[in-house]
Amino acid sequence: MPICKRDGFDLNNTESKNETFHDNDLVFCCYITKRIFRDYENYFRHVMAINSTVWQCEATGKDGLTFEEALKSERVARKKMEQFKQSLRAPVLLVIEHARQSAVKMLNLIVSKFLRKRYFLNEEVVIGQRKNTVYKVVGIKPRKDMQEPSNGVYEDTEQLEYRLRAPNGDEINVTLEQLRRQRAEFNMENLAMFIKNSVIRVDGILRPKPEVYKQYVTEPNISFSSIFIGKMPRYSPAKIKRPEAKDAKKQSTLNKYIVKGEESVAKKKESDEARAKSLADEMERIRLEKAAKFAEMEIKKAQRKAEVMQRVEQECLYLTTKTDDLERNDQRLLPAYQPIVTLLPELILGDVFVLREFMHTYSGLLSGVEVFRQNLSFYEVSRAFSAREVAGPLSDILLVLLGTIFDLQKEEEEECPVYYVTGYGTALREPFISMGNGSRTQMYVKRHFSFKLNELPMDALTLSEVLRLHLLASGAIVSDKPDKWRIMYRNGYSSREDPGLQLRIEHSHILRALKTLPVAQLEFGDIIRIANCLMAQILSYSATINIVEERMEKMSKAKMELRTLIWAENRRLAALEANKRKLTSEHHQQCMTKELKLDTGKKEELAEQLNRRIADLMAQSDREQRKHEQQVMKLHSELFNFLVYLGMDRCYRKYYVLESMPGIFVEHTPDSSMDTCLEQPPQNISPAEIRKQAQLPKQRKDLRTYLVKLYGDSDKKSRKSANKQSLENKENQENRLNGHGQSSEPMDVSGDDEEQTPPTQTELLMCSGDSSNCIVHDGHHAERRIWTYLYKTEDIDALIRSLNPLGWRESELLDELTQLRSLILQHVKHCSEDMLNLDTDKKREKFISAMHAETHRKYNQANFGLPDDIELNEVMRLHLVDRILQFEHDIYSGDLGKLNVKDMEKWRQQLLKDEYDPQGKLQWGPRMLHNDETPADSDHESHEDFDDHEDENDEEAALLREFGRKYGRYRDPDQYIEPTDAKSETESAAASKTHQTQVRNLASALLQVEQAIGRRFMKEPFGMNMKRESKQENLKLICEARLQQWEVSLMESTSYAQVFLHLNVLNDCILWRRSTNKSLCKVCRRGTDPEKMLLCDQCNGGTHMFCMKPKMRTVPEGNWYCHTCVRELGLTNAKNQSTKQQKKRKFIVDEVDDDVDEGVDDGDGEDDDNDDNADEDEEEDNNSETSSTATSVKANGKTAATRRSSRRSGKRLKSKEIEEAIEDDDSDEAEESSVEAEDNEESEEKDEEETEACQVCFYNGCEISCVRCSEWFHLECVKLKRQPRTDFVCKKCKTIETQRPRRRPSNVDGDADDDDEEPQAKRSRSSRNSLRISLEKSAAANNNNNNNNTSNQNNNRRSGRRTNDNLPLNSAALYHLLEQTMKHQAAWPFLRPVLTSEVPDYHKIIKSPMDLAKIKSKLNMGEYQLNEELLSDIQLVFKNCDLYNVRGNEIYEAGCKLERFVMDRCKDMMLPFRPSDMNAEAIC
């Protein structure tokens, strides 16, 4: 505190520090001294005093300062003094005590010289050349040539050697010249400051202050010999000048010679004085003895008090400070948990829980998760990891995860194109080698399948191969641009961190097994490793990272709001208490008035008024308290939604609360040990002592007061009873000697046996110190359970009571359980104990039956109807045989090709009997140089043979050579994995020669089917577009080369999944719309009236003769080509017709009832929601089935081959009969020649595309026009059988209504049938039909079933086929429209649902929200039956935008712009679309 150097400048301490101030009092505050005044004069005098330069710094002695300057000087000095090195303080105090100097400056010089010549033990120093490394002095010794001083004092310290220890444990020896101290820790300034504040002058000598000396020297027990060698140097003590005694040399008088009696008087006087002096000395001695005794008693009292306080502090520290759980001795018994017993292996149970929780948490991100109805049930996951099934729930799980990865890859590629490179320069070590091989795998897929890896068709049958290729391609090296993009948007992710790369390196046996086995036949441990790898890959993408970050932001926001609520509640409670005190104070003041002192009634009235006001305050407080509790509960609920991990207990058991499974789950994995066994584990105290500790105060202040009183009272009682105890001991000793000792009686102990016998360390789940028998650190301890659970309220409460609030781990767990107790109890009350506790055979059988009952409907054909005990490879083989036969049947029956074998029926039967015979020599690959005689272990050369042809001028040869140089020879990605010596039995069995022969046979059969397909019936990448281009021949060669690459990889297949993958890729590249089984009219898009439909001799496309412009009456002679082939390929139709030849033409038609008007069913027999548009690449399940019942007429004069006797009749119609049928329908229309029809078809069709569209169905080919509004209609659309004989007036004009008709999509000239764009192989993850293909017993039975199903569908469709409600869905055009709309720059507000957190009142105004993502999902899931349904949802998006937003708003303008774009596209595509009010002016 600053010292005032002048009288009169005090700080005016007259103001009472305990004076009470009220809220409305006017005071004056001095912020420098933190004082307030009521009187302004006192305040003014105080301010003048502290601003005067009369103050002195107490630490440095500097004067002439103001009060604030002095405070600042003291702070600076104190800071400098604190910087003084701790290890030098004890030596300084020892030197001060030993030097005995009286001058401060001399003392500073002595100490400074002493410290500069010496370094002490345990002092931290640096070496001149290594200033960045701090060493510790661990030893001091003289040099070998240095003699030990005789007096023991080492004055020549330069000859000493210091042993230093580095932080890493290394030790070195250095001399004094090499050592340095940090300047901030030791300099003259902070040394002088420390000496000044640490000394006191005693009898003129500067000595250390007792408390400082005790702190740094006495208590640490430090002496000079403990910090340095030798003895302390000797210093000359300072000389102290003492004042001489007065009258010491006074001259004597001559009285003794003059007066005789004076001598005796003087002697008497001297004796009296001596006696008085001795008496005074005796009294002083007694007084000093008493004072010394009193001081000794005070010292002992102070020591006892210090001991008590030290004991209290230690107890408080132990009872309030958190320590490691295993080091505490006050642990309680934890409740016993129920072990989890399921069908799943215990080692993978935790991973299965993680999988379920992952799919539950990220259900909005996962692709195709709808197959599990938004949640993976425990029955499904139990079946997935306990049953061996090809198309079971396991395949669905992996399809969802892998499909999500592929979708995320596509999104990433849209943001930044990804290009793969094969190596990191010259890096020849892992993981760079595997990363380069991953890039080669990506190139392998593009080379042999002509698709990217994420575009391959994927279902349960191809899953194993696609998964294998994905794992092999994981971690592929990408170019610099996508690598930088990933670092920026995927939190620094790089290809080296790919989890699939790590799986490939550490568990390469999985990839080797997948080469021959289906994934469902792997070990369950390996399967769960694959699932974990896929989940880890999903978590590395930016979309998942955004979800995680959003959840974290919501959690932090909820925690902040919770803290704010608690702070506001504390303020409210404080304000409530203040209001109560204020009311009570006002009441007392009113009662103190003279008028009320004698008026008892008035007092009682005021008391009642006070009680009412306090009651009102409490009632309002209760309402606010309930509101606060509701808000806290809501925030706790939000936090609980994000909570998975609760904490750990003393033995490192982890507690989880899963959203997907009610209950608290406890994991005690063998590898969860966080440390090693303790050398001396603490022994637990008795339960009685634990109960006593539980009753102690929780607050440190209250606990300290309690312990001080407890130990103080016990100390007094012990001193009082000391004497009594000594007497009792003597009496007891005498009684024992005399034989009168009292017999010991048994103690009366109340309590349980558990309290009598303390629990063991194992029962307490504490460390036993023996690593071989420790339940904490021994992973194989007999009493450890990896997974347990609890869900009962009493068990949770017992857990809360038994947790130690002073353990590091258990305190955190206790806080979570206490805060969220109500929510946890509500969550766990639905715990399914019958699923988690299958400890008896009866429970297990009950669970298995319930599991099969729950999953039977979805997975009853998981192995395609075969027995469960059959091997999965055999299941896939049998089903592959059926698929190949069905595929060949569809090709042959649809006029797409024919096998080049002698006996087709024999070929089929031998394939069914596993006795495959190709009936000829097989050739495949480039130039057909490969054949079935090539040895299996050849070098698989596939392209280098291009160089063997010497015709350098041949353009075809040049292109093929270039293609061959690009790819080189065949290399399977699996060959880059180094084989291991140990192989599993299943792997070696699957790799047997029989298995390879069977795979080879089926691949050969598929090869024959592929080579039978006409190349004009294939689309890209294996076929060409039907357009005349200058490089048509080059494109043809390239497509042929791609197909040859497909053939090479097919014949190198080693598993059935690889053959399935080749089959699906080929299936997706076939123009199934050109099949005669699926012929639709290119004008009306219907498959009805097959007897009146002409088939194009180029593309097999059909056109009704009555749909042509003008109508065609007779079948033309020779080849007939559709309008598309004529326009695109430049083909021409014959113009001269011969009636004679027409009569010879024969047609094969179906026998259809008169009341049946059939359409063509392009979909699966079990799924009627498939796409009917020719532009859409049919789904995988569509391509394998032929449900068309109508066979159209081909116009080349030849009869179409009848390949399904059960579906087609032998009825033949001549051209004359066809003409009569046409004339019956159109008797009132003028006859036109077929030659004119062909000449005018193209010109009139272009003119009438926009003018003669039917106003009911909006298709061309109208026959009738309204005389009032001039609008055109089909006869059947206005329910007329023939042309009216009078003028036709439409219904609209008759009723004078303005209702707009619903429109249907139309493709006028069949342009939509052209597959100009490169097809994208689709994954039918959302549809389970592709995974539920039943194993057909015979082809004929299957054909009959399909025929019956199709007939039933067509019969049901007959009655309403002319209305808008039953027209087929043009999903290809709608999908294209939706893709263009979502990619529009103004579509950003409508891509995802509107969140309530972003727009709180949105769902209050918009009752039917809709977004483009939901529309796309519904379209993919087949939820739309009509075009109008999808268009109405798009209209709903813009109606909601118009309803919620106002004109001028950014989102309103974006919606208006996007809607105009949709209107234009719908107009171009002839789709009916009604705009909202935002673009109402655009309605025609």
- Please answer whether residues 1137 and 1113 qualify as being in contact, where contact means their C-beta atoms are separated by less than 8 angstroms: no
Q: What's the confidence (pLDDT) of residue 1260?
A: 64
Name 405's Cβ contacts closer than 8 Å, sequence gap at least 6: 454, 470, 534, 537, 538, 541
Q: Which residue, 665, 693, 643, is CA-closest to 806?
A: 693
User: How far is 689 from 695, CA to CA, in rounded Å?
Assistant: 10
Determine how β-strand 171-175 pairs with β-strand 160-165. Answer: antiparallel
Q: Indicate the residue type of 738.
A: N
Q: Are 1409 and 1402 contacting, i.e. CB atoms less than 8 angstroms apart?
A: yes
Q: Which residues of 1077-1101 are buried (b: 16+ CB within 10 A; e: fewer)?
A: bbbbbbbbbbbbbbbbbbbbbbbbb
Give the number of residues written for the chain: 1484
- Rounded Cα distance, 63 and 70, in Å: 8
- pLDDT at residue 1175, as a whole number: 39
- Report CA Rg, the chain: 50
Task: For 1284-1343, give the DSSP string.
Answer: -SS----HHHHHT--PPPPP----TTSGGG---SPP------S-SGGG-----S-HHHHH
Strands (E), 191-289: 199-202, 205-208
For 477-499, the DSSP string reads -B-HHHHHHHHHHTTS--GGG-H
Nearest to 1176 by CA among 1314, 1335, 974: 1314
Could you tell me which residues are beta bridge partners of residue 1214?
1146
Q: Given this model, what pLDDT does residue 635 score?
A: 82
Task: State how beta strands 1093-1095 and 1193-1194 pair.
Answer: parallel
Query: What sign for the dihedral angle of Cα 376, 381, 387, 389?
Result: positive
Collect all residues with Cβ–Cβ distance below 8 Å to 936 and sequence separation of at least 6: 996, 1000
Sign of CA dihedral 306, 308, 314, 317: negative
pLDDT in tens, 1137-1162: 443 333 333 333 333 333 333 333 33
Evaluate whether 388 touches 870 at the Cβ level (below 8 Å). Answer: no
Say which amino acid occupies 1393: P
**Which of 392, 498, 510 has its CA nearest to residue 438?**
498
The two tokens of residue 518 are: 């289906």
Tell me the backbone φ, ψ of residue 1435, rounded to 5 degrees. -60, -35
Angle at 810 between CA 806 and CA 813, to 5 degrees: 125
Phi, psi (deg, nearest 5) at residue 35: -125, 150
- Give the pLDDT score at 1145: 35
Instruction: Specify the 3-state DSSP secondary structure of 1273.
Output: strand
Concatenate the DSSP letters of all residues of 57-113 into one string: -TTT---SB-HHHHHHHHHHHHHHHHHS-GGGHHHHHHHHHHH--S-HHHHHHHHHH
Residues of the chain with pLDDT under 50: 14, 243, 245-260, 672, 725-755, 935-953, 956-957, 959-960, 981-987, 989-990, 1136-1251, 1297-1367, 1484
Contact by Cβ (8 Å): 65, 55: yes
Tokens read off for 683 = 């022994």
Q: So what's the pLDDT on residue 39?
A: 85
* Residue 829 contacts residue 664 (beta carbons within 8 Å): no
Can you read off the two tokens belonging to residue 1246? Answer: 């272009």
Q: What pLDDT, in 10s, does the model give residues 1081-1117?
A: 877 777 777 778 888 877 777 888 888 877 887 888 8
DSSP helix/strand/coil, 1094 = strand
pLDDT (0 to 100) of residue 1306? 33
Task: Please give the backbone phi and psi of residue 1259, each rounded to the nearest 5 degrees, phi first.
Answer: -105, 155
Q: What is the pLDDT of residue 958?
A: 55
Number of H helices, E strands in the chain: 48, 25
Closest CA to 400 of 357, 356, 366: 366
Type of residue at 1124: T
The number of beta carbons lying within 10 Å of the beta carbon of residue 1378 is 19
Per-residue pLDDT, 724 = 52
Residue 1293: what pLDDT?
76
Of 1117, 1118, 1088, 1312, nearest to 1103 by C-alpha is 1088
Write the burial class of residue 990 (CB in 10 Å: 0-12 exposed, 13-18 middle, 19+ buried): buried
* pLDDT on residue 969: 64
Write down the pTM of the prediction: 0.57
Phi, psi of 1186 (to 5 degrees): -130, 100
> What is the C-alpha separation between 983 and 548, in angstroms, rounded?
40
Instruction: Report how far Cα 781 is from the mean position of its chain's Cα atoms.
Output: 34
pLDDT at 721: 57
Contact predicate 1416/1437, CB 8 Å: no
Alpha helix segments (H runs only) across 1082-1230: 1123-1129, 1139-1144, 1180-1183, 1215-1225
Judge whether 220 and 90 are in contact, CB under 8 Å: yes
Residues 6+ apart with CB under 8 A from 827: 640, 657, 662
How far is residue 1137's CA from residue 1235's CA, in Å, rounded to a whole number? 8
Counting beta carbons within 10 angstroms of the beta carbon of residue 211, is it exposed (0 to 12), middle (13 to 18) or buried (19 or more)?
exposed
Angle between helices 188-198 and 67-83 (to 10 degrees): 100
Q: Give, for 1093, the enclosing helix (H) or strand (E).
A: strand 1093-1095
